[in-house]
């Protein structure tokens, strides 16, 4: 997730080189895919101005016309799913199967808002002393999105679809290692028939985001990224009193209770830990297991992690491709080594393969406790931390003992028990029972604590970048 100092991960520290070109690097072998010219400041300012001028007309475009165009965007995504999937796989290493699925999910969110935006933004009458009073939702203007590399399409579309349907225009500052994906997203909206400057991708220096946030025509901003990145954007936007929505890092706890189906729980937990190569804010990261079933669960979990095939992400039978960048892989390995030095035990993986590219194997750490790196920090890659708890009360306390609060899950044979823990006890924005945490256009998505604020998706997400206006007629 990109905005200085880190790109994408909560504990990342790499700075982007301040050059006038961007290189897309294949993380599978370190080869250069393509170089892209960055915009000049003059060109950047021109795009902002044109986006604002487009908004002046777009905000009055009838909802049925917006819907027609968004439906067309959904259709193009489905038609080009394989093409765009291969682009993502080359740029950041996710498996082709998951990349194609990501494009199809973007089509879903486009359809969802095309079909529901009018209802979500309809005037709401309120009974008062007036002859008429109601709430209306008006677009704000140009919204800046600073987006990450780990889901290069999905995290953009879950912002862009509702923002455009609400009558805003959007500018994208994407992560510097996925420039092809950034331009492909712009291509989708252009080819669907949206006004030329309704959605634009800005290939610019990261340091220029400050100037963008200060521009009079940028009315709000959203960022998916690290805690430091979120703080930087929120601070700058706050100086200008501009609205922000932040979706930041996570160290999602998955509680496995003594009455859980351990085979099902282990399979679901491994799926969540390895999804997107483990490079997901809402991937399971801390597995908190009641001690009476700890040995059995760990055995099943390790067995499934060990069987996950690592290899060419274009191969449909591969479960794990390379990590997105070598520096991120090296940071993850340092976290593993540090955790072991602090007392954790590495029972699987934990060694950098001797091959070109950003590879790291499925890794399992046991005996993890609060105060250890694997407990306190986000592990943004295929590394699992297994933690023992005496009982339900301690498991919940361990789950909540984190600066993060994005997602959480609980596994139990008692649905009512799981429902209570998820609804009342866990401190996170999304809490799932007997399932891994995932985003869904129909449900609000976001976090608490240092995982951010505001919500994306659902009817709440489309209202974030609107003027929620009271109208009172005497």
Q: Which is the catalytic residue, given 91, 102, 186, 247? A: 247
Q: How far is CA 284 from the centre of its chain?
A: 14
Distances (CA, A) of 238 to 229, 231, 344: 14, 10, 41
Q: Whole-angstrom Cα distance, residue 398 to residue 412?
A: 17
Burial of 243 (0-12, 13-18, 19+ CB in 10 A): middle
Is 346 annotated in the active site? no
End-to-end, the C-alpha distance of the chain in Å comes to: 49
Name every residue whose Cβ is closer than 8 Å to that of residue 334 and which is 6 or more positions away in sequence: none
- Picking from 189, 147, 152, the residue whose alpha carbon sits closest to that of residue 169 is 189
Q: In this structure, what DSSP letter does residue 45 have?
A: H
Is 247 annotated in the active site? yes
Q: ω into residue 202 within 30 of 0, thus cis? A: no
Q: Whole-angstrom Cα distance, residue 454 to residue 286?
A: 24
SS3 474: coil
- Picking from 387, 358, 353, 370, the residue whose alpha carbon sits closest to that of residue 285 is 387
Find the DSSP H helices in 59-202: 63-79, 81-92, 96-120, 154-165, 179-192
- Could you list the active site residues? 247, 281
């Amino acid at each position: 997730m990109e905005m200085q100092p880190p790109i994408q991960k909560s504990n990342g520290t790499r700075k982007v080189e301040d050059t006038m070109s961007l290189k897309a690097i294949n993380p599978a072998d370190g080869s250069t895919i393509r170089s892209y010219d960055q915009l000049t400041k003059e060109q950047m300012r021109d795009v902002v101005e044109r986006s604002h001028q487009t908004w002046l007309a777009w905000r009055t475009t009838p909802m049925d016309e917006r819907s027609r165009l968004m439906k067309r965007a959904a259709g193009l995504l489905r038609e080009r799913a394989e093409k765009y999937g291969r682009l993502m796989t080359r740029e950041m290493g996710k498996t082709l199967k998951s990349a194609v699925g990501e494009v199809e999910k973007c089509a879903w969110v486009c359809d969802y808002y095309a079909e529901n935006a009018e209802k979500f933004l309809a005037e709401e009458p309120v009974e008062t002393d007036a002859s008429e009073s109601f709430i209306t939702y008006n677009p704000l203007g140009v919204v800046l999105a600073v987006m990450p590399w780990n889901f290069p399409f999905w995290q953009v579309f879950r912002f862009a679809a509702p923002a455009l349907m609400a009558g805003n225009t959007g500018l994208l500052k994407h992560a510097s290692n996925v420039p092809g994906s950034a331009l492909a997203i712009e291509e989708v909206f252009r080819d669907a028939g949206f006004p030329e400057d309704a959605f634009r991708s800005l290939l610019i220096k990261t340091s220029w985001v400050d100037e963008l946030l200060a521009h009079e025509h940028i009315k709000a901003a959203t960022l998916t990224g690290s805690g430091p990145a979120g703080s930087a954007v929120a601070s700058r936007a706050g100086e200008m009193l501009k609205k922000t929505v932040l979706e930041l890092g996570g160290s999602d706890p998955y509680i496995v209770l003594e009455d859980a189906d351990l085979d099902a729980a282990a399979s679901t937990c491994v799926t969540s830990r390895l999804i997107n190569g483990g490079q997901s804010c809402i991937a399971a990261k801390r597995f908190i297991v009641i001690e009476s079933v700890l040995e059995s669960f760990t055995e099943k979990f390790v067995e499934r992690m060990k069987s996950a095939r690592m290899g060419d992400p274009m191969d449909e039978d591969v479960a794990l491709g390379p990590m997105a960048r070598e520096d991120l892989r090296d940071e993850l390995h340092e976290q593993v080594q540090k955790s072991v030095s602090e007392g954790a035990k590495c029972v699987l993986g934990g060694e950098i393969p001797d091959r070109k590219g950003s590879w790291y194997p499925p890794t399992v750490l046991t005996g993890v406790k609060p105060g250890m790196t694997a407990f306190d920090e986000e592990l943004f890659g295929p590394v699992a931390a297994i933690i023992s708890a005496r009982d339900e009360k301690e498991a919940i306390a361990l789950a909540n003992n984190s600066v993060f609060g994005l997602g959480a899950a609980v596994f139990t044979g008692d649905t009512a028990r799981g429902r209570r823990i998820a609804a009342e006890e866990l401190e996170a924005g999304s809490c799932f029972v007997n399932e891994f945490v995932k985003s869904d256009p129909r449900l609000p998505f976001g976090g608490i604590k240092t995982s951010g604020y505001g919500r994306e998706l659902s009817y709440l997400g489309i209202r974030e970048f609107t003027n929620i206006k009271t109208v009172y007629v005497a």
